Each structure stands twice: as C-alpha cells, then as structure tokens.
Structure 1
Amino acid sequence: MGVLSWIVFGLIAGAIAKFILPGKDPGGIIVTILIGIVGGFLGGWIGSQFTGTGVTGFNLMSFVWAIVGALILLAIYRMIFHRSHA
C-alpha cells in the first residue's frame, strides 16, 4: 500500500504544490504530475527518516509528507531551470 499511496498522494500533491508555488513552469501539467509523484516518494522517504513511518496509507500525515516532497522538488526544479536559462 505504501508505493500506491505515494503515487496517489503524489498526483494530488503535485497539484497542491503548483497551487502553493504558482508560476510558469516548463513542461506544463505532465511535468507537474511527475514532480508530484516523485515528490510523494521523496516525502515518504523524508517522513520515514523523521518519524519512522513515512507514507502509511491514506491519512493526513502521509498527505502532508507527499506535499512537502512535491514542494521541495518543484522548488529545486525551478532553481535548476531558471539558472540554466538565465
């Protein structure tokens, strides 16, 4: 259930991360979805390192970790993209 939760939470987390950090991103919705999914995995890993549980299913803390991971990846993606084209 953990990996499936990361993917589902990641899809939603990508949309929420885009809402929290609005702006023009290259790649559009597809890249945002992929960042959200990978962010869900990252958030699950970060959560497991801090709490020992990570993404444990459909609960609030798992959702928060997925959003945190997506926000981190979206910010890194923007820094890399803007730096390479500046």
Structure 2
Amino acid sequence: MLAFIISIIIVGLIAGALARLVVPGRQHMSIAMTIVLGVVGSFVGGFLGYLIFHKDAQDGFLQPAGIIGSFLGAVIVLLLWLRLGHRRTVRA
C-alpha cells in the first residue's frame, strides 16, 4: 500500500511538472500543488482513457499510455484552473 501511494505521488509530480512546462504563462503553484495537479490529472486522464478505449487499471498500473494520459489530464486540469482562476473579479 505504501509503494502504491509513493508511486501515485511520483507519477503526479512528473505529470504535473510536465503540464506546467507545456502550458504557457506563469502558474503560481507550490510543489505540493503540482503533485495534486498531476494526481487529479491522472484521474481525469484515466477517466477519459476509459471512456475512449474501454481499458482500466486492471490492465496494468504503470503503462506508457497511463503516464501519457496522466500528462494530458494534467494539462486539461491546468488549463481549466487557469481559465476559471481569473474569474475572481468583484463586481460592484
């Protein structure tokens, strides 16, 4: 169980860092938020992969397709975060 949690953190850090490198602009995030971005991106990428290809984690945990899906999911989540984060304006 501990190895599973550590692998999720490592994959999350890699996917989140790659997403932050690819998406243009400044993202004011800590390392912990980068890991959270990658983990949430993994869930989004896994869900989209399941919808498109009908494969899930039973086919193997660390696959190249899973890591690519984590990266793509993290990019989607980061773009949504940046788009929705700028709507915090106060209207009078």
What's the TM-score once normalised by structure 2's chain length? Answer: 0.74
How many angstroms apart in 1 are the aligned matches of 2:7 and 2:49? 13
Q: Is the 8 A contact 1:35 1:74 kept in 2?
A: yes
Greater C-alpha radius of gyration = 2
Corresponding residue number in structure 1 for 2:74: 70
Secondary structure at 2:41 match in 1: helix
How many angstroms apart in 2 are the aligned matches of 1:13 and 1:21? 12
Deviation at 1:4, TM superposition (A): 7.6
How many angstroms apart in 1 are the aligned matches of 2:29 and 2:17? 14
Secondary structure at 1:53 match in 2: coil
How many angstroms apart in 2 are the aligned matches of 1:78 and 1:50? 26
Structure 1, unaligned stretches of length 5 or more? none
- After alignment, is 5-14 or 38-47 more displaced? 5-14
Q: Percent identity?
A: 32
What's the TM-score once normalised by structure 1's chain length? Answer: 0.79
Structure 2, unaligned stretches of length 5 or more? none
